[in-house]
Structure 1
């Protein structure tokens, strides 16, 4: 069977139906009808062993090499970052995160293709800056990146900072043809990272009423769906953030994930948020979209 509806109301497309759905998705992307939501799984398209961490657990491991956290939290990125922030200071945590993500990653064919499309909004949920690099390589000057920032270094009601592709900080709210939204921050150009528990306590107290999400992002998602690629939702923090970012988006919502690897929580999340699953290896899906 090419399309199935599971007992938890998760719609899954496979084989021919998955290919057909991707072909339709390619057309919608080309006409700015859906918002790409990129995750760290895309890093594995460049290398089976990426030079920078591609999961929260890998970030936790890299931080543990610099300061060993208690065993009960050692695999939790947010808790390990909080441990370092409390014991070594925020500046140390920021410097170590910048070291961990310092190695540049070459954009994949999918990043390069997205960079040429007339997309109003692209969401990149990891710290590596690869989508930014792909946009910069085109020479475009009509792109603004809005990054989530930690409140630890700020005074006042500030949740984000904006930059052009040369790294110059801009006034918040500046109009652009394409907005690249990196809600968790990015290593470039200014090493902004939301990564510790305290960072997210600040954000999650307000995110239900959408305050930390820029108005331009709220506006541009309204009449569009979301396409999740390279993303996993096996952690409550990742699910909460994605749920709030897709809030009030029009649809459709589509994700490319190998269905056999889904956790129970991921299946519930996808079904509850009406996210249709394309059951296909990510490399195969990317080749069909951007090849």
Structure 2
């Protein structure tokens, strides 16, 4: 069976149906009709080991090497970060996160391909800065990045900061052809990280009424769907953010995932959000999107180009 609707209306497409939907997603991306929503799993496409962590559990482990947290929270990035902030101060947490993500993350072939498209909005939900680097490598001068920031060191009603690709901070509300939205922050250019539980207290209080989401993001999502790649939704924090960014987006929405690995909560979230699962390996999906025989071939092409 190629299309599998569940009792909760989760739609999973496979085989020829998956290939057709991915081709439609490719066309929609090229026509700026859908928004790429990128997750840390995208970093695994490279044949080389990623230079930075690509799961929240890996970040938690890296923080634990610097200051061991209690066993009951040891694998939870947000709780470990909160533990460190409470005992060693915010500056220490900021320094350690910057160390963990200091090594530049090389853009994948998918990052590079997306950087060539006339996209109005790209959402990057991880801290590595690879999408930003791909846009800079492509020579783009029509991009601004809007980063979520911690309010721990801020005064006033500030939720994001805006930068150009050279790292200059811009006035709030500055826009361009392409907006790169990094809702959890990013290592570059200023090491902004939403990572501790305390970072999210006010955000989660306000996000239901959309206050922390920049106006440019709200406007550009209204008449578009979202295409999720490299994302997992096995934590309530990740589901909450994605749900609120999806809000009022006209759709349709789809994600590339291995359906066999879906948790019950992920399946419920995807069904409730109307996100169709393209059951295909990430490497095959990237190869079909960028036109390479395999994702590794695409990476070789990218290295040759750079």
TM-score range, shorter chain: over 0.9
CA displacement, residues 229-287 of structure 1 (integer Å, 9 cap, x when unaligned): 00000000000000001100010010000000000000000000100010000111011
TM superposition shift of 1:48: 6.1
Secondary structure of the residue that 2:152 maps to in structure 1?
A: helix
The aligned runs of 1:243-282 (5 Å cut-off) are 243-282=243-282
* Separation in structure 2 between the aligned mates of residue 175 and residue 98 of structure 1, nearest angstrom: 27
1:60 matched residue in structure 2: 60
Gaps of 5+ in 1: none
After TM superposition, the structure 1 stretch with the greater mean CA deviation from structure 2, 39-48 or 13-22, is 39-48
CA displacement, residues 23-59 of structure 1 (integer Å, 9 cap, x when unaligned): 1111110000000000000010114632211111000
CA displacement, residues 55-96 of structure 1 (integer Å, 9 cap, x when unaligned): 110000000000011111111000000011011110110010
CA displacement, residues 3-27 of structure 1 (integer Å, 9 cap, x when unaligned): 1212221111101110111111111
The aligned runs of 1:64-143 (5 Å cut-off) are 64-143=64-143
Confirm whether residue 46 of structure 1 aligns to residue 41 of structure 2.
no
TM-score, structure 2 normalization: 0.94
2:223 matched residue in structure 1: 223
Secondary structure of the residue that 1:86 maps to in structure 2?
A: helix
Secondary structure of the residue that 2:49 maps to in structure 1?
A: coil
2:149 matched residue in structure 1: 149
The aligned runs of 1:176-215 (5 Å cut-off) are 176-215=176-215
TM-score, structure 1 normalization: 0.99
Alignment CA distance shift 1:259-1:48 (3 Å): farther
* Separation in structure 2 between the aligned mates of residue 212 and residue 115 of structure 1, nearest angstrom: 26
Let me know the Cα RMSD of the aligned residues.
0.8
Secondary structure of the residue that 1:106 maps to in structure 2?
A: coil
CA displacement, residues 147-181 of structure 1 (integer Å, 9 cap, x when unaligned): 00000010110000000000000001112000000
